[in-house]
Chains A and B, each alone.
Chain A
Amino acid sequence: MPDRLTEDILASLASITRRPPDTIALESPLQDLGLDSLDTITAVFELEDKFGISIPDDDVRSIRTVNDVVEGIRKLVAEKNQA
């Protein structure tokens, strides 16, 4: 079972890509979901707002899969909660 954070991210990506959340696998490359570079920065922009975090440019550039997004955000949320 995916945890809450994963579910939230999958729901966001599902809404941006207009596809059912259960069709998005963690190992899916974002490109395969039909997200180009502009869609990706738009998705990241929405996720930053949702989780109250700021994702560095270099991290965004290195995103390849859905799991990269989930783990990147998990790390930043943990850092935020510790601060």
Chain B
Amino acid sequence: MSATRVAVTGLGVICALGRNREETWTSLAAGRSGIGPLASVDASKLRFRNGAEVRGYDSNEHFEGNKAGLLDRFAQFALVAAREALRDCGIDAAQDRCAEAAVVTGSSLGGQSSQDAGFVDLYMAGRDRVHPLTIPRTMANAGASHISMEFGFMGPALTVSTACSSANHALGLAFRMVRNGEAPFAIAGGSEAPFSMGLLKAWEAMRVISPDTCRPFCADRRGMILGEGAAMLALEPLEAARARGARIYAEVAGFGMSSDAHHITQPSLEGPLRAMRGALRDAGVAPEQVGYVNAHGTGTAGNDVVEARAIREVFGGHAAHVAVSSTKSMHGHALGAAGALEAVATVLALRHGLLPPTANFTSLDPECEINVVANQARPAGVEYALSNSFAFGGLNAALLFRAFANG
């Protein structure tokens, strides 16, 4: 019996590049960055000025009555993206096989802005109580729970928190659930809303945020730019998708994960290498079959050199033929949502035969000898593409996607 193939049949996204899939892809394809001056916090108190915020977002357009008040911004984004993915895949959530559907979300921070607001009340405003909904707003699984409730999905539902790898781990677990027959359908991805003063001060203290913009793999890169948003993917067995005549964007072909067991913030070479090789092995795919890597590519001194080295080592002589880009240069580093935004970028790149670029690109760091798609999207018919996430804490997750050619 051949293994179950897993299809991506729906995409939902909200981020600095757009408030839905179409807007986001238009920006990605145009190489247009969503990074700009921070509007949601007073940036004069920070050492950096820019972020990749979701602009023009009005919760009243998405939630009726008091519903928005129950949801932190990160959970609102999760629901907005899940609704779009559901609509997009054309499945009727009320139909039978959805009752056992899985929901797997990634979030590094949960509803930290609700917690921050509570702390402001307590320690600055001199109040002796916080809002009664602080706990349900703050819990990291709020996104998964609200998706499950809204659509009546009663199968496995959980949230993965592995810092910047959260969404890739979430997607990988959902992929395996569908492949193993544990869930007939899954909504998976990640969401994050990191723009509160308390959290931004913590990032400032880490000294990894760029004072201007994000230039992954460039000689003059100065760090990462934080982003926010959510992306959700609808996953189901390929045969089920075909049987109902669904649009199939791509297949999830493999998933690999590893731990550096090395240092709490400095990446190792071995960990990323083993995650990428694990994804290829999982799919039975040779490195030479891969044409594109959506890199973790944070734009920090630490990540980019190590990731470029790991890519060269995985692909060997084929490395020069593998196009690499970091779309974080456009949608920012959305932490626990990053892998999901990048999964959407990778899936759409395969579907459209167009590889989104690394924006803001100046000149390649000689220590990052890889084939970077610089500033302009590159047309390319690619069969397999990797999407990398490597987290603080040394936890790595790589997803392998395959173009779907109606075959």
Interface residues of A (CB under 8 A from B): 36-38, 41, 44-45, 54, 56-58, 60-61
B216 to A: closest C-beta gap in Å: 16
Interface class of chain A by DSSP: helix
* Cβ B301 vs Cβ A57 within 8 A: no
* B223 within 8 A of partner (CB): yes
* B265 within 8 A of partner (CB): yes
* Cβ B266 vs Cβ A41 within 8 A: no
Residue of A36, A57, A58 near B263 (CB, 8 A) is A36
Number of interface residues of B (CB under 8 A): 14
Collect the chain A residues with CB atoms within 8 Å of residue B263's CB. Answer: 36
Q: Nearest A residue to B204 by beta-carbon distance?
A: A57
Q: Nearest B residue to A56 by beta-carbon distance?
A: B47
A6 to B: closest C-beta gap in Å: 24
* Cβ B205 vs Cβ A45 within 8 A: yes
Interchain pairs with CB closer than 8 A, number: 26
Residue of B47, B211, B222, B266 near A37 (CB, 8 A) is B266
How far, in angstroms, from A44 to B205 measured CA to CA in the complex?
Answer: 10
How far, in angstroms, from A82 to B44 measured CA to CA in the complex?
Answer: 23
* Cβ A41 vs Cβ B222 within 8 A: no
* Cβ A38 vs Cβ B264 within 8 A: yes
How far, in angstroms, from A44 to B204 measured CA to CA in the complex?
Answer: 13
Interface residues of B (CB under 8 A from A): 47, 205-207, 209, 211, 222-223, 263-266, 301-302
* Cβ A61 vs Cβ B205 within 8 A: no
Q: Nearest A residue to B209 by beta-carbon distance?
A: A57
Collect the chain B residues with CB atoms within 8 Å of residue A36's CB. Answer: 263, 266
B43 to A: closest C-beta gap in Å: 15
Q: Nearest A residue to B264 by beta-carbon distance?
A: A38
How far, in angstroms, from A38 to B263 measured CA to CA in the complex?
Answer: 10
How far, in angstroms, from A41 to B266 measured CA to CA in the complex?
Answer: 13
Collect the chain B residues with CB atoms within 8 Å of residue A44's CB. Answer: 207
8 contacts between A and B (CB under 8 A): A36-B263, A37-B265, A37-B266, A37-B302, A45-B205, A54-B47, A57-B223, A61-B207
Q: A56-B47, A57-B207 are in contact. List 9 more A-B contacts (CB 8 A).
A: A37-B302, A38-B264, A41-B205, A41-B207, A54-B47, A57-B211, A58-B211, A60-B207, A61-B301
Collect the chain A residues with CB atoms within 8 Å of residue B211's CB. Answer: 57-58
Q: Nearest A residue to B48 by beta-carbon distance?
A: A57
How far, in angstroms, from A60 to B155 measured CA to CA in the complex?
Answer: 49
B211 to A: closest C-beta gap in Å: 7
B82 to A: closest C-beta gap in Å: 36
* Cβ B302 vs Cβ A57 within 8 A: no
Collect the chain B residues with CB atoms within 8 Å of residue A37's CB. Answer: 265-266, 302
Per CB-CB distance, the 8 closest pairs between chain A and chain B, nearest first, are A57-B207, A41-B207, A60-B207, A38-B265, A37-B266, A57-B47, A36-B266, A61-B301
How far, in angstroms, from A54 to B47 measured CA to CA in the complex?
Answer: 10
Q: Nearest A residue to B206 by beta-carbon distance?
A: A41
Q: Nearest A residue to B210 by beta-carbon distance?
A: A57
Collect the chain A residues with CB atoms within 8 Å of residue B264's CB. Answer: 38
